[in-house]
Chains A and B, each alone.
Chain A
């Protein structure tokens, strides 16, 4: 998996003190928090190894390695530019909203709207997005509901659930 990263070393890769230091700091805090919180896991009976031991065993190397990352940062891939970031945020917001209304609206209406907007965000023109989104939503519905026999959320106000 990571080997081809080695092959691609030369482009889109930057020495990244800032990104790695932030990551190191966040992970170090996480390790400290996990260590501290693990002391609140108490059981009634005695065991040679309690529920807190393993998390501590893991957060120790995590903390040490994160501290190392903080002091000796390595390489990062190129971070996205502002336009790319905006597209990613838009897609994430759309997907979160879609997850939120899936049960309230029912699968088919929510997915119709979601799929059209999603194809649009992935670069289709409006006309293409309408056709492709509708096709995707209906196709998925037929495939899952009838083809694979997995019940998807029905439209609530539309007959029995």
Chain B
């Protein structure tokens, strides 16, 4: 078994003390960020990227840190769902439905323990899936040339925009906006300055990290400022998390089903963790129907969505690593990070840097165990952080964003740019134009243009090269199918609203 040999090699990489430490830091920070209401995996990873850059981490180390943050956020989101009835991040929304009622009945500790185990099982199943399926996709993708890559980038936009968002017009507007912003700066092929209007700071282009932190962290704070938040947070008696271990045994069916559903929705491009937890919960409710007490604190209503969202988080890494197309907002940002470190995820990554890919996979297995430990005996610690007032937490986020972005280039210009992107992100959110495609466009634009131009210079200016191979036609067909599916989905949604 090739895969097992590679995995063993990965464990040799991931068990180096430096990487173990980074995974532990990532897991703890991730759990914390995930637990804080309003801050989810996208914000968490966005906030950590400048720090990883400033710290001069090598790509494997940075990837392990950030993916640990990502996994940690998925664990952490449930804490405030259960304790405060406020989802810590979007995928944790379904957990409020039965988690908070459990907490009101004095079974909060049990709910936290149970959901930690469910998260662990979901994430572990997804990581096993990643180990088994990613190499299969790689075998297919190894045949790709520039024309196929161009098609693949189009597919990335079709998936991130088309499938889940309410208005696919707006998703594509966002993607185009990002692509256009990505052309700002010196054109690497012809050395012509584009859309810089004489501003020297723009010659290197718009730094995607600066844009990212603005679009996610700063705009989140602006959303927070809309309302006054002086109400006292409800205080719920938690109790020990250990009883959750036994109740997770009686929920093993829910956990298993949730994990599988979550994994599949994670692998499907554009679906992501929120869909994973949503589907897991809804199907569990339908499956057990009258036998359950859903909505009133049924433990299975906590187990299924938590297994689902963690499995989806792992599943979303498959298309990101093996094809270089993101399955969710957060993986889009991880992809962005890799590209900015001059590493192109995809089949070549598996061939050329196996120690990195398999080191990451092994780190995920180890990180999961760390997260289980952090989230059962130590969960009270994280729950206590939630009691900290938001007037302390939000300024902390802003200041970390400021220092992180400033330290990138020691340039106040970047700070103004970040604020501008914060306002842009806020306005886009109010307009219901999604911000993830903007980041994706900003980042993939360069690669996409490069591959287009390379394909064109191979063909001598003949545009038909773009549709000349079976693979690229297949990708276009897939992209169009997804766009149509997205349109139909949006139409059904609109009908349901009426």
A132 within 8 A of partner (CB): yes
Contact: B395 with A84, CB < 8 Å? no
Contact: A1 with B51, CB < 8 Å? no
Q: Which residues of A are found within 8 Å of B434, using beta-carbon distances? A: 1-2
Contact: B412 with A99, CB < 8 Å? yes
A120 (CB) vs chain B CBs: closest residue: B391
A19 within 8 A of partner (CB): yes
Could you mark each residue 98-117 of chain A with 1 if its beta carbon is under 8 Å from any beta carbon of chain B, else 0?
11101100000001001100
B224 (CB) vs chain A CBs: closest residue: A122
Contact of A118 among B170, B399, B400 (CB under 8 A): B399
Contact: A59 with B176, CB < 8 Å? yes
Q: Which residues of A are found within 8 Å of B457, using beta-carbon distances? A: 47-49
Measured in the bound complex, the distance between the Cα atoms of B436 and A109 in whole Å is 36
B453 within 8 A of partner (CB): yes
Contact: B452 with A49, CB < 8 Å? yes
B383 within 8 A of partner (CB): no
Given A9-B497, A37-B195, A49-B453, is A1 in contact with B436 using a C-beta cutoff of 8 Å?
yes
A41 within 8 A of partner (CB): yes
Could you mark each residue 259-279 of chain B with 1 if its beta carbon is under 8 Å from any beta carbon of chain A, else 0?
000000000000110110010
B433 within 8 A of partner (CB): yes
B155 vs chain A, min Cβ distance (A): 16
Contact: B430 with A19, CB < 8 Å? yes
Contact: B190 with A50, CB < 8 Å? yes
Could you mark each residue 114-155 of chain A with 1 if its beta carbon is under 8 Å from any beta carbon of chain B, else 0?
110011011110001100110011001000100010101100
B251 within 8 A of partner (CB): no
Measured in the bound complex, the distance between the Cα atoms of B41 and A125 in whole Å is 30
A23 vs chain B, min Cβ distance (A): 5
Contact of A79 among B410, B423, B430, B456 (CB under 8 A): B430
Given A62-B173, A76-B431, A102-B412, is A95 in contact with B398 using a C-beta cutoff of 8 Å?
yes
Interface residues of B in 460-481 (CB under 8 A from A): 460-461
Measured in the bound complex, the distance between the Cα atoms of B329 and A13 in whole Å is 22
Given A1-B90, A84-B226, A91-B221, is A65 in contact with B176 using a C-beta cutoff of 8 Å?
yes
Contact: B453 with A3, CB < 8 Å? no
Contact: A119 with B395, CB < 8 Å? yes
Q: Which residues of B are found within 8 Å of A62, using beta-carbon distances? A: 173, 176-177, 180
Contact: B42 with A74, CB < 8 Å? no
Q: Which residues of A are found within 8 Å of B271, using beta-carbon distances? A: 3
B36 within 8 A of partner (CB): no
Q: Which residues of B are found within 8 Å of A41, using beta-carbon distances? A: 187, 190, 192, 194
Contact of A69 among B173, B272, B422, B461 (CB under 8 A): B173
Measured in the bound complex, the distance between the Cα atoms of B90 and A128 in whole Å is 31
Contact of A7 among B187, B278, B415, B445 (CB under 8 A): B278
Q: Which residues of B are found within 8 Å of A133, using beta-carbon distances? A: 395
Measured in the bound complex, the distance between the Cα atoms of B422 and A128 in whole Å is 27
Given A1-B42, A41-B194, A123-B229, is A150 in contact with B54 using a C-beta cutoff of 8 Å?
yes
B164 within 8 A of partner (CB): yes
Contact: B395 with A27, CB < 8 Å? no
Could you mark each residue 422-450 of chain B with 1 if its beta carbon is under 8 Å from any beta carbon of chain A, else 0?
11001101111110100000000100110
Contact: B452 with A136, CB < 8 Å? no
Contact: B402 with A51, CB < 8 Å? no
B189 within 8 A of partner (CB): yes
Contact of A58 among B176, B192, B225, B229 (CB under 8 A): B176
Contact: A115 with B395, CB < 8 Å? yes
B55 within 8 A of partner (CB): yes
Interface residues of A in 38-77 (CB under 8 A from B): 38, 41-43, 47-51, 54-55, 58-59, 61-62, 65-66, 68-69, 72, 74-77
Q: Which residues of B are found within 8 Å of A31, using beta-carbon distances? A: 176, 180
Q: Which residues of A are found within 8 Å of B90, using beta-carbon distances? A: 1, 3-4
B179 within 8 A of partner (CB): yes
Contact: A122 with B226, CB < 8 Å? no
Measured in the bound complex, the distance between the Cα atoms of B191 and A79 in whole Å is 42
Contact: B187 with A51, CB < 8 Å? yes
Contact: B225 with A9, CB < 8 Å? no
B389 vs chain A, min Cβ distance (A): 7
A29 within 8 A of partner (CB): no
**Residues of A near any B CB (own CB < 8 A):** 1-7, 9-10, 13, 16, 19-20, 23, 27, 30-31, 34, 37-38, 41-43, 47-51, 54-55, 58-59, 61-62, 65-66, 68-69, 72, 74-77, 79-81, 83-84, 87-88, 91-92, 95-96, 98-100, 102-103, 111, 114-115, 118-119, 121-124, 128-129, 132-133, 136-137, 140, 144, 148, 150, 152-153
10 contacts across the A-B interface (CB closer than 8 A): A5-B166, A10-B497, A19-B431, A48-B461, A54-B183, A76-B431, A95-B415, A115-B395, A140-B399, A144-B407
Q: Beyond A31-B176, A51-B187, A118-B395, list 9 extra A-B contacts (CB 8 Å).
A: A4-B278, A7-B93, A31-B180, A41-B194, A51-B194, A58-B445, A95-B398, A102-B412, A115-B395
- The 8 A-B pairs of least Cβ separation, nearest first, read A48-B461, A1-B329, A62-B176, A99-B415, A124-B391, A3-B274, A84-B226, A4-B90
